Structure 1
């Protein structure tokens, strides 16, 4: 926190000097929001799953072709004490002209056209501290890097370079109701120290070219990265009374493409990607240092329907295929996931009813969030709803006892 406070003091001093130099050509914009989120488990012991309040501050400074953006969160979390504090979210400068757009610093980079599913969108990792029971934009973790775009009316070319990779944040502590270790009933140890060294040879880089054609947008992408979600090997002790675990990270190359086609009241979206050398999770027990990498092929097809009268319906199907399959791999050779999102605006668009579902076809499990959002004013939103987890196998089944009621209050400024 001291480092962030020092940074903010330096930033304020620098901006003061900059603005005094030529105050007529510089513009400042300060905005953000305050939100308070609380969730209660819907079954015994009816404990609080989440209780947190946050101030998000965002500052944008523009001067000619250059700009700067800084955002940070000041959070008080009653459940997870290590999540209380002042946290820098994004901080970057930007230089843009008619043909070039350069962004340098801590930033969120998004690729692809999928909604809530990662296919080619592998640059920025995810924060699973509360799994998916939080806004999707809040789940993304910014990365410290460089992004350069060449702009043309009919196409864009984008290059990214990340000197030091960021990785998924997983809930591991016993105090967290969303801990991925909650189902383990025996003593265990977890080694998370295999994170790649911070050196040039471990940097990430990639590129994307997007074409804006008549009636269709198409993008091609490639990325030299890592499996940012750790693969954890598990092994039992000699007496089978303890569990040993070790997290692994390996290089991953991605080649992908996506497209979006509007057709009247419909929008068709498609996204495909080949993951070359993707690290696979292995069945227990296994040698803690054993790893298997396979080429996998991932595809998504989505359909958005806007029938009018403030209705929106969105459906996606995602499929993953593991080539040269080995029976020791813990997941199936073919796996499928469906998402369904329906929303309706009421009361002159001040109220929004919505329901979003992830359905795991492979293991017949699902996660559904149904909510009501009411705009009390243009600045104040009140939201309430229910998160429902169901299943006996798969990632959603892990949280089958975590179904919860939630409320959120948000003031934007």
Structure 2
């Protein structure tokens, strides 16, 4: 009786709170299925033609509460992965290994006349680039999935406190991030991206092999953004000091008289700093976008080949009674990234083109990449039939190895709530079979996608 009375009081209290404030509950239900396509120069075991490479259903719940100058937002994803349910040795009914919950955002806001604050788990976008990363390093990436349809799905929230100062012409944001959040890596068994990140010769590698920074105040992260909104252009300046959200990989080979018996792998994270700027300049129906970032003395993993070769030399030295040298698992280099883009929107069409450049100063042979990497993107979009059908085509080509990715898509709005989509992700390697390129390494993941979404 006492428990019932307490529950009744709680229900009355919650009801009173909800009625005294503006509460909005929304969200969506999304389904996505992907069927593998034939891949160029793939072996029989690698070819995924006719096989499902993705089959997910995601329910997103979004809660917004506001009262005067204060507000609260919470958003979470509940995802069911049908492919894991079929292949997993865990209980099929309980779905122990195939159901996931992801808290995307959960924060509260205060918005005053000249200042505001936001505390909690939040996602913030930096920069003007479309689908490419230049300054946008505040929130870590979700690398466990190859492609995300929405920006919020491609990023993880950071647990941070943000203080903002607001003027008529701009804003200044300062971020304090006490707990480091790394990028989500494709380490689960069955994830097709795992074999691309982790060489097949590695024996075992899981989350337990990754060393995170110690949870203490001195390992916090800091960020700042200054934005100016002027009649002729928008400008932003960025600064960040924290941790690189992708780890440094350390390979350890086991040698015997006949050669290498096995390769182990571990990882850790290193500090990183960044300063950057961007601009958006409207000219009639056209917008010019510029963005650049500088990373001083950034850590880069040395390649698996260079680490194992150095360890083999050390093994020979030890066998000869000599002292072994230290094996370099990372090197520090200055890095500059930059982007120039144009958006043109004539007569209901949208054309977007971008050129991206990434330059690492000093030798890069140890880290297994070119000093200068550059690529270009192009996307075209048009809505027809009273904006109920949206057709789009986007592509990206990197000029070092001439690999590319092509993504045509059609989305039809059945009603204000329901939309259906059909698309394709096709990855083409470069002409050199020894160097498939950035996008060519995903050639076995080319697929046709079919999905739907109900929004409320």
Whether the TM-score (by the shorter chain) exceeds 0.5 is yes
Paired residue for 1:129?
144
**Distance in 1 between the 2:226 and 2:145 partners?**
34
Paired residue for 1:375?
413
**CA, structure 1 residues 204+83, in 2 after alignment: closer, same or farther (shift >3 Å)?**
farther
State which structure, 1 or 2, has the greater radius of gyration over its C-alpha atoms: 2
Decide whether the 8 Å contact of 1:281 with 1:331 is kept in 2. Answer: no
> Any idea what SS the aligned residue of 2:176 has?
strand
The range that moved more, 111-120 or 182-191, is 182-191
**CA, structure 1 residues 15+125, in 2 after alignment: closer, same or farther (shift >3 Å)?**
farther
The 5 A counterparts of 1:81-120 are: 82=97, 84-120=99-135
Paired residue for 2:25?
30
Decide which of 69, 77, 83 is 1:79's aligned counterpart: 83
Decide whether the 8 Å contact of 2:248 with 2:270 is kept in 1. Answer: no
Aligned length in residues: 399
The range that moved more, 391-400 or 357-366, is 391-400
**Distance in 2 between the 1:148 and 1:406 partners?**
41
Paired residue for 1:247?
267
2:346 is the counterpart of 1:307: yes
Decide whether the 8 Å contact of 2:196 with 2:441 is kept in 1. Answer: no
**Distance in 2 between the 1:162 and 1:105 partners?**
10
Paired residue for 1:347?
385
Unaligned 5+ segments in structure 1 are 1-12
Q: Deviations over 1:41-78 (max 9, x none)?
A: 11344211111111101010001110000111121111
- Deviation of the 1:19 alpha carbon: 5.4
Unaligned 5+ segments in structure 2 are 1-8, 39-46, 86-96, 312-326, 430-434
Paired residue for 1:296?
335
Paired residue for 2:94?
none
> Any idea what SS the aligned residue of 1:79 has?
helix
> Any idea what SS the aligned residue of 1:292 has?
strand
**Distance in 1 between the 2:202 and 2:169 partners?**
59
**Distance in 2 between the 1:180 and 1:131 partners?**
13
**CA, structure 1 residues 403+364, in 2 after alignment: closer, same or farther (shift >3 Å)?**
same
**Distance in 2 between the 1:201 and 1:393 partners?**
42
The range that moved more, 221-230 or 357-366, is 357-366
The 5 A counterparts of 1:61-76 are: 61-76=65-80
The range that moved more, 326-335 or 365-374, is 326-335
Paired residue for 2:57?
53
The range that moved more, 46-55 or 190-199, is 190-199
**Distance in 1 between the 2:178 and 2:419 partners?**
39
Decide whether the 8 Å contact of 1:172 with 1:181 is kept in 2. Answer: no
Higher helix share: 2
> Any idea what SS the aligned residue of 2:132 has?
coil
- Deviation of the 1:240 alpha carbon: 2.4
Decide whether the 8 Å contact of 1:222 with 1:255 is kept in 2. Answer: yes
Decide whether the 8 Å contact of 1:339 with 1:358 is kept in 2. Answer: yes
Q: Deviations over 1:279-335 (max 9, x none)?
A: 113232316762211110111101011111x21010111111111234312111111
Q: Deviations over 1:6-48 (max 9, x none)?
A: xxxxxxx989636526844x10101111111110111344211
2:358 is the counterpart of 1:320: yes
**Distance in 1 between the 2:157 and 2:358 partners?**
26
> Any idea what SS the aligned residue of 1:400 has?
helix
Decide whether the 8 Å contact of 1:235 with 1:285 is kept in 2. Answer: no
Paired residue for 1:276?
296
Decide whether the 8 Å contact of 1:68 with 1:92 is kept in 2. Answer: yes
The 5 A counterparts of 1:157-236 are: 157-181=172-196, 184-190=199-205, 192-236=209-253
**Distance in 2 between the 1:99 and 1:20 partners?**
31
- Deviation of the 1:103 alpha carbon: 0.7
Aligned-residue CA RMSD in angstroms? 2.1
Paired residue for 1:264?
284
TM-score, normalised via structure 1 length: 0.91
Higher strand share: 1
Paired residue for 2:373?
335
**CA, structure 1 residues 183+101, in 2 after alignment: closer, same or farther (shift >3 Å)?**
closer
Decide whether the 8 Å contact of 1:33 with 1:57 is kept in 2. Answer: yes
**Distance in 1 between the 2:104 and 2:10 partners?**
20
